[in-house]
Structure 1
Amino acid sequence: MAVRVLLGFSIPEEDLGHLFEVYQQFVENVFSLPVDLPFSGYRRGIQARQILQKGLEKAIREKLQCTQGKDYSDALDILIESSKEHGKEMTMQELKDGTLELIFAAYATTASASTSLIMQLLKHPAVLEKLREELRAQGLLHGGGCPCEGTLRLDTLSSLRYLDCVIKEVMRLFTPVSGGYRTVLQTFELDGFQIPKGWSVMYSIRDTHDTAPVFKDVNVFDPDRFSQARSEDKDGRFHYLPFGGGVRTCLGKHLAKLFLKVLAVELASTSRFELATRTFPRITLVPVLHPVDGLSVKFFGLDSNQNEILPETEAMLSATV
């Protein structure tokens, strides 16, 4: 999705599959110790980056030759045109670096949030059932639970209040990215400490959510905290910031939330799913929040009477970030 929707690349499936494997190697080693030795994580990350950039350069050159007459703009188009407006065309290296950053931001974080969403629906069946009740009340499910075709529109998704609460709570407890960096433009003081101009400072999204006084029982998964009746996030704009804040807030936040909502609706309406392992996996926070060995889940399709489709055949999906 990131490659085709955000960047407008047309890469053959076979090449895309190979690049995805290389990308996984890049992500797994992106925060390795900077020790350039044979077989080190750092060396594997550098090699993966070089292969990725070679493939991206080919895709970028093809895109630059085929952009005439398009009736839409993707993120890479906007990046290129913005640089031209400021009198500086981006070099190929800058385009490759920017493209790789967009892919990392779009894929790794969305995969992390999607996995967290599935895990919480597995852990909290009452939340899943309440979500199904909302879908049924909005006419998105037939009586038996089968989704109504052609009814999932953007305005319909926006009207699903409990679904919005579920996504917000997933992003509060399981923010994919732990924080962000800013450069100090002017020397200032904070709690008696002087922060000089030019320093880099980091803000922690996860710690902010964990210590925000507006949230009750911060370690409890409770989507209703965002309901209109409670609205725990209404007091203080800086207590809830899963996508960062200010002018440099995440550019893809609306796309990410839309993707998560569609995923939740599909999960709730078309399948029964259960954990494929005896226990839930251990979670790590680097480079983004994700299960150490992935999340293995068994999915069973449902028909209009909420009976399993081909119940003797277990369709197993391993969702790994």
Structure 2
Amino acid sequence: MLFEGLELVSALATLAACLVSVTLLLAVSQQLWQLRWAATRDKSCKLPIPKGSMGFPLIGETGHWLLQVFSKIFSHEALQSYLPKIRLVIQDTLRAWSSHPEAINVYQETQKLTFRMAIRVLLGFSIPEEDLGHLFEVYQQFVENVFSLPVDLPFSGYRRGIQARQILQKGLEKAIREKLQCTQGKDYSDALDILIESSKEHGKEMTMQELKDGTLELIFAAYATTASASTSLIMQLLKHPAVLEKLREELRAQGILHSGGCPCEGTLRLDTLSRLHYLDCVIKEVMRLFTPISGGYRTVLQTFELDGFQIPKGWSVMYSIRDTHDTAPVFKDVNVFDPDRFGQARSEDKDGRFHYLPFGGGVRTCLGKHLAKLFLKVLAVELASTSRFELATRTFPRITLVPVLHPVDGLSVKFFGLDSNQNKILPETEAMLSATV
């Protein structure tokens, strides 16, 4: 009896320790998330940062104006204007990957790709490639130290993050000034154009500091999660060649890919992508099974009950996207990669409002979700129509969830160029070695 009592006390102590640890973890995580946004902004920035607003003032008059701005930035017309530029950035990147003699680290390269997309397309900056590469390295240093504890000591992560932000803002200020001086030859309005023009229309002309802060936040929003999803997309196409071939069949049926194999010439449009139903299913399944972000925080506005538990007004709560996708009763065989679950015959995501929420849900759903899905669809189309790629390791790497979902070794893949019939073209050195003398 004595031993049983000791075991019970030990078990209760362990449970209490676990609850305390989880509580502390949630509190620290939320505080670091808020500090992360404070670290992106200069102290002189005049835009308010209400608690829990993800850095954007989404309340009051200013919030209403910003929501209008973002509705323009991610509108159908804006996405159509971004599309050709996004496709060019992706095509240039895939050509570079295919010309590389060795396997590439996909996660690292997709980070460069999404950073370049944000700079070239979303912000419309004409930064030389060499400067862009340096800016990317500084940006990575900034991102790696964003969640550091706010201890401002020499060689601390916080100090490195602040120094990286200062260098970034100098580079961004230079790019912004050059952009403001050179207004000729623009064939579309990018996100920064829309932000600047909208602020003038509402009598809120933004200072240079506010422009730099807004620019940095736009880059951050378009960077890590999109790189994570892009890596997961490539990994699943490698794992499931039948899915890749079915995707190619749809591209042929829609006239995007010739029956002989080579991609058709012409402009890719939003209405064309909207007809690619299987492509949409593939992207949805990638985002269901490999959601980049595990969840999010919300503040309780009104006391409510959930499964018999009362949640008081004012509490901070966290919802889990991954757990929701794993436990939602509408999904069958939840661990299986099966794009057809989203097809018209099954439509597993149509039963219920909050079973599938890779971009969050409700009024606080991700504002840039349509741009993210557009980027992933264009990447999938270009991968299916212009690329051949092989896993460069014996097995697929395991996945880590911190800070966003990604393979632990970055996913090593060898890409090949293609001839007009979509046959692999070996790099010049390999072709010479394999040639018959």
After superposition, the Cα gap between the structure-2 partners of 1:214 and 1:268, relative to the gap in structure 1 and judged at 3 Å, is same
Give the share of equivalent positions with the same residue, in percent. Answer: 98
What secondary structure is seen at the aligned counterpart in 2 of 1:194?
strand
Contact 1:35 1:42 in 2 (8 A): yes
Contact 1:294 1:318 in 2 (8 A): no
TM-superposed CA distance for 1:85, in Å, is 5.9
TM-score for the superposition, normalised by structure 1? 0.87
After superposition, the Cα gap between the structure-2 partners of 1:190 and 1:282, relative to the gap in structure 1 and judged at 3 Å, is same
What secondary structure is seen at the aligned counterpart in 1 of 2:350?
coil
CA distance in 1, matches of 2:378, 2:183: 30
TM-superposed CA distance for 1:312, in Å, is 6.1
Contact 1:10 1:59 in 2 (8 A): yes
The partner residue of 1:86 within 202, 212, 221 is 202
Q: How does 1:116-195 map to 2 (within 5 A)?
A: 116-150=232-266, 152-195=268-311
Stretch moving more, 245-254 or 20-29: 245-254
Could you list the runs of 5+ residues in structure 2 that have no partner in the other structure? 1-116
Query: Is the radius of gyration larger for structure 1 or structure 2?
Result: 2
TM-superposed CA distance for 1:38, in Å, is 3.4
The partner residue of 1:44 within 160, 182, 191 is 160
What is the total number of aligned residue pairs between the two structures? 321
What secondary structure is seen at the aligned counterpart in 1 of 2:425?
coil
After superposition, the Cα gap between the structure-2 partners of 1:28 and 1:314, relative to the gap in structure 1 and judged at 3 Å, is farther
Contact 1:182 1:201 in 2 (8 A): yes
What secondary structure is seen at the aligned counterpart in 2 of 1:185?
coil
What secondary structure is seen at the aligned counterpart in 1 of 2:402?
coil
After superposition, the Cα gap between the structure-2 partners of 1:239 and 1:141, relative to the gap in structure 1 and judged at 3 Å, is same
Greater helix percent: which structure?
2
CA distance in 2, matches of 1:67, 1:193: 58
After superposition, the Cα gap between the structure-2 partners of 1:287 and 1:95, relative to the gap in structure 1 and judged at 3 Å, is farther
After superposition, the Cα gap between the structure-2 partners of 1:69 and 1:270, relative to the gap in structure 1 and judged at 3 Å, is closer
Stretch moving more, 251-260 or 40-49: 40-49
After superposition, the Cα gap between the structure-2 partners of 1:153 and 1:320, relative to the gap in structure 1 and judged at 3 Å, is farther
Query: For 1:236-287, what per-residue CA distance to the aligned partner results, in whole angstroms no more than 9, with x for missing partners?
Result: 1211111222333222222221221121121112222101122222322222
Query: For 1:168-222, what per-residue CA distance to the aligned partner results, in whole angstroms no more than 9, with x for missing partners?
Result: 1001111112222333333444344444444433322222211111111111100
After superposition, the Cα gap between the structure-2 partners of 1:60 and 1:195, relative to the gap in structure 1 and judged at 3 Å, is farther
TM-superposed CA distance for 1:19, in Å, is 0.7
TM-superposed CA distance for 1:13, in Å, is 2.2
TM-superposed CA distance for 1:227, in Å, is 0.5
CA distance in 2, matches of 1:280, 1:297: 10
Name which structure has the greater RCO, CA cutoff 8 Å, separation 6+: 2
Contact 1:297 1:316 in 2 (8 A): no
CA distance in 2, matches of 1:320, 1:172: 49
CA distance in 1, matches of 2:402, 2:160: 17
CA distance in 2, matches of 1:311, 1:17: 24
TM-superposed CA distance for 1:20, in Å, is 0.5
After superposition, the Cα gap between the structure-2 partners of 1:45 and 1:166, relative to the gap in structure 1 and judged at 3 Å, is same
CA distance in 1, matches of 2:435, 2:325: 26
TM-score for the superposition, normalised by structure 2? 0.65
Could you list the runs of 5+ residues in structure 1 that have no partner in the other structure? none
After superposition, the Cα gap between the structure-2 partners of 1:83 and 1:304, relative to the gap in structure 1 and judged at 3 Å, is closer
Calculate the aligned-residue CA RMSD, in Å.
Answer: 4.8
CA distance in 1, matches of 2:408, 2:436: 9
What is the match of residue 29 of structure 1?
A: 145
Stretch moving more, 67-76 or 185-194: 67-76
After superposition, the Cα gap between the structure-2 partners of 1:280 and 1:69, relative to the gap in structure 1 and judged at 3 Å, is closer
CA distance in 2, matches of 1:246, 1:252: 14
After superposition, the Cα gap between the structure-2 partners of 1:274 and 1:170, relative to the gap in structure 1 and judged at 3 Å, is same
CA distance in 1, matches of 2:254, 2:287: 24
After superposition, the Cα gap between the structure-2 partners of 1:135 and 1:177, relative to the gap in structure 1 and judged at 3 Å, is same
After superposition, the Cα gap between the structure-2 partners of 1:197 and 1:266, relative to the gap in structure 1 and judged at 3 Å, is same
After superposition, the Cα gap between the structure-2 partners of 1:315 and 1:195, relative to the gap in structure 1 and judged at 3 Å, is farther
Stretch moving more, 199-208 or 269-278: 199-208
After superposition, the Cα gap between the structure-2 partners of 1:78 and 1:32, relative to the gap in structure 1 and judged at 3 Å, is same
TM-superposed CA distance for 1:297, in Å, is 0.9
What is the match of residue 296 of structure 1?
A: 412
What secondary structure is seen at the aligned counterpart in 2 of 1:167?
helix
Contact 1:30 1:287 in 2 (8 A): no
TM-superposed CA distance for 1:71, in Å, is 7.1
TM-superposed CA distance for 1:88, in Å, is 4.5
After superposition, the Cα gap between the structure-2 partners of 1:84 and 1:204, relative to the gap in structure 1 and judged at 3 Å, is farther
After superposition, the Cα gap between the structure-2 partners of 1:316 and 1:103, relative to the gap in structure 1 and judged at 3 Å, is farther
TM-superposed CA distance for 1:72, in Å, is 4.6
After superposition, the Cα gap between the structure-2 partners of 1:67 and 1:96, relative to the gap in structure 1 and judged at 3 Å, is same
Contact 1:168 1:226 in 2 (8 A): yes
Stretch moving more, 277-286 or 19-28: 277-286
Query: For 1:118-170, what per-residue CA distance to the aligned partner results, in whole angstroms no more than 9, with x for missing partners?
Result: 00011111111111222222232223321122163322221111111101100
